[in-house]
Amino acid sequence: MSKYVLTVLAILISLSGGAQTNKSANLRGLVADENHQPLSNATIKLTDADLQTKSDQEGSFSIENLDPKKTYRLKISALGFHDYTQRINLSKDSVLHIHLVQKTTELDGVTVQASQQEQVSAVQYKLNQTQIEESKGKLAAEVFSKLAGVSLLNTGQTIAKPVINGLHSSRILLLNQGVKLESQQWGAEHAPELDAFSADQFEVIKGAQAVRYGADALGGVLIAKSENIDPERLQGRVDLIGQSNGRGGTLNAEVEGGITAIPNLAWRLQASGKKLGNSKTANYYLGNTGSEELNWSTALQYQHNNHKWDVFYSRFATQLGIFYGAHIGTIDDIFARIEHGKPLEDYGFTYDIAAPKQKVDHQLARLKYQYQFQNDWRLDAQYSWQRNHRREFDMRRAVADDVPMSDMLLSTQQLELLMKRKQHSLGISAVSQVNNNVEGTGTTPIIPNYDSYGLGVFGIHEFAFNKINLEAGWRYDFKHFDAAGYRFQYTDQTGSTPQQYLMEDVRNFHNVSGSLGLRYAINQQWTYKSNVGLAWRAPTANELYSDGVHHGAGIYEIGNLDLKAEQGYKWINSISRRSDKWNIDIDGFVQYISNYIYATPNPDSVRQTIRGTFPVFSYEQHNSIFYGVDINASWKINQLFDYQFQGSLVRAKNTSLDTYLPYIPSDRLSQAVQWNIEAGSTTYLKLTHEFVAKQDRYAKGTDFIVPPAAYHLLHLHASRTFQIQNNRLTSSLALENLFNTEYKDYMDRFRYYAHRPGRNIKLSISYKF
Tens digits of residue pLDDT in 562-601: 999 999 999 999 999 998 889 999 999 999 999 999 887 7
More confident residue, 92 or 767: 767
Q: For residue 601, what pLDDT is reported?
A: 73
How high is the mean pLDDT of the chain? Answer: 86
Per-residue pLDDT tens over the stretch 618-629: 889 999 999 999
pLDDT at position 671 over 60: yes
Q: What is the mean pLDDT of residues 193-211?
A: 88
Helix (H) or strand (E) holding 7: helix 2-16
50 versus 336: the higher-pLDDT residue is: 336
- For the ranges 57-61, 312-316, 339-343, the lowest mean pLDDT is seen at 57-61
Q: Which range, of 280-284, 291-295, 369-373, 614-618, averages the lowest pLDDT?
A: 614-618
* Sequence-separated (6 or more) residues with CB below 8 Å from residue 13: none
- Confidence class for position 82, pLDDT limits 50, 70, 90: confident
Share of the chain above pLDDT 90, in %: 54
At residue 583, the pLDDT reads 93
Point out the least confidently predicted range of 4-18, 198-212, 269-283: 4-18
Q: Supply the pLDDT for residue 607.
A: 55
pLDDT at position 326 is 75
pLDDT at 277: 96
The confidence band for 117, taking pLDDT boundaries of 50, 70 and 90, is: low
What span, in angstroms and rounded, lies between the C-alpha atoms of 430 and 414? Answer: 6
Whether pLDDT at 176 is above 90: yes
- pLDDT value for 156: 82
pLDDT of the residue at 745: 95
For 51, counting Cβ atoms within 10 Å of its Cβ (0-12 exposed, 13-18 middle, 19+ buried), the class is middle
Q: In what order do the strands lie in the sheet with 51-54?
A: 51-54, 43-46, 71-77, 84-89
Segment 77-99 mean pLDDT: 77
pLDDT at 608 over 60: no
The enclosing H or E element of 711 equals strand 711-724
The DSSP line for 537-585 is EPPPHHHHH-EEEETTTTEEEE--TT---EEEEEEEEEEEE--SSEEEE
Beta-bridged to residue 235, according to DSSP, are 256
Per 3-state DSSP, what percentage of the chain is helix, strand, and coil (rounded to 5)?
A: 5, 55, 35
Q: Which residue has the higher pLDDT, 400 or 431?
A: 431
pLDDT of residue 554: 61
Report the sign of the C-alpha dihedral through residues 120, 122, 125, 126, in that order: negative
Taking 60 as the threshold, does the pLDDT of residue 114 lie above it? no
Residue 451 has pLDDT above 90, yes or no: yes
One-letter amino acid at 377 equals W
pLDDT band at residue 204 under the 50/70/90 scheme: very high
Average pLDDT of span 549-566 = 78
Q: Where are the domains of the chain?
A: 26-117, 142-354+367-450+457-499+517-768
| Average pLDDT value for residue range 256-285 | 95
pLDDT score, position 613: 60
* Banded pLDDT at 490 (limits 50, 70, 90): low
CA neighbor of 588 nearest in space, from 573, 570, 571: 573
Helix (H) / strand (E) element for 238: namely: strand 235-243
Task: Taking the CA atoms of 688, 694, 695 and 701 in sequence, report the sign of the dihedral they define.
Answer: positive
Contacts of 604 (CB under 8 A, 6+ apart): none
pLDDT tier at 474, thresholds 50, 70, 90: very high
pLDDT confidence of residue 70: 77
Spatial separation of the C-alpha atoms in residues 51 and 46, rounded to whole Å: 5
Where does the pLDDT of residue 104 fall: very low under 50, low under 70, confident under 90, or very high at 90 and above? very low
DSSP state of 144: H
**CATH number at 142-354+367-450+457-499+517-768:** 2.40.170.20
CA distance 535 to 170: 13
pLDDT in tens, 678-696: 765 678 999 999 999 999 9
CB burial string 399-418: b at 16+ within 10 A, e below: eeeebbbbbbbbbbebebeb
Provide the pLDDT for residue 38: 78
Mean pLDDT confidence for 208-215? 78
pLDDT number for residue 78: 85
pLDDT band at 297 (very low <50, low <70, confident <90, very high): very high
Instruction: Name the helix (H) or strand (E) containing 451.
Output: strand 449-465
Contact between 174 and 191 under an 8 Å Cβ cutoff? The reply is no
| pLDDT at residue 386 greater than cutoff 50 | yes
Average pLDDT, integer, range 710-738? 94
- What pTM value is reported for the model? 0.84
Q: What is the pLDDT of residue 649?
A: 96
CATH superfamily of 26-117: Carboxypeptidase-like, regulatory domain (2.60.40.1120)
Q: What is residue 606's predicted lDDT score, i.e. its pLDDT?
A: 54
| Predicted local distance difference test score (pLDDT) of residue 609 | 54
- What is the average per-residue pLDDT within 395-414? 83
Query: Is the per-residue pLDDT at 351 higher than 80?
Result: yes
Given a cut of 70, is residue 728 above it in pLDDT?
Answer: yes
Which pLDDT belongs to residue 36?
61
Q: Quick one: what percent of the chain has pLDDT higher than 70? A: 87
In angstroms, the first-to-last Cα distance of the chain is 38
Least confident of 119-133, 165-179, 328-342: 328-342
21: pLDDT strictly greater than 50: no
Band of the pLDDT at 334, cuts 50, 70, 90? confident
Instruction: Give mean pLDDT, residues 32-45.
Output: 77
Say how far apart CA 165 and CA 571 lie, in whole Å.
12
Q: For 730-755, what is the mean pLDDT?
A: 93
Residue range 296-314: mean pLDDT, rounded: 95
pLDDT of amino acid 670:
96
Instruction: Give the mean model confidence (pLDDT) for residues 390-412.
Output: 83
For residue 468, the model assigns a pLDDT of 92
496 pLDDT band (50/70/90 cuts)? low
C-alpha 492: how far from its chain's center?
Answer: 44
Greatest Cα pair distance, the chain, in angstroms, is: 85
